[in-house]
Amino acid sequence: MGKLIEHQEVEEEKEGGEKDNAKENDDEEDDNCCDTSEYVHTSYEDVIITTEVISTITKRERKRKVMNNE
């Protein structure tokens, strides 16, 4: 659980309309480019990170309780 999704940057245009991407003619890599509709917003990433922190704390508490009972 908790694997963060890496966002591949979208090509940006330079002044004059030239694309700022050395691989712009490489059509094979277009299949690997993420769709902007599937972009994970920072707020969602914060929720995932928070969930991981809570999970870690819960595991530590369980371990502490087990150690105290022995």
pLDDT at 12: 47
Task: Read off the pLDDT band of 13 (50, 70, 90).
Answer: very low
Q: How far is CA 11 from CA 6, 16, 18, 22, 39, in A?
A: 16, 14, 10, 10, 15
pLDDT at 1: 46
- Specify the higher pLDDT residue, 70 or 25: 70
d(CA 16, CA 45): 35
pLDDT at 35: 58
**17-66 pLDDT per residue, tens:** 555 455 444 444 555 565 555 555 567 778 888 888 999 999 999 999 99
Q: How far apart are the first and last CA of the chain?
A: 30
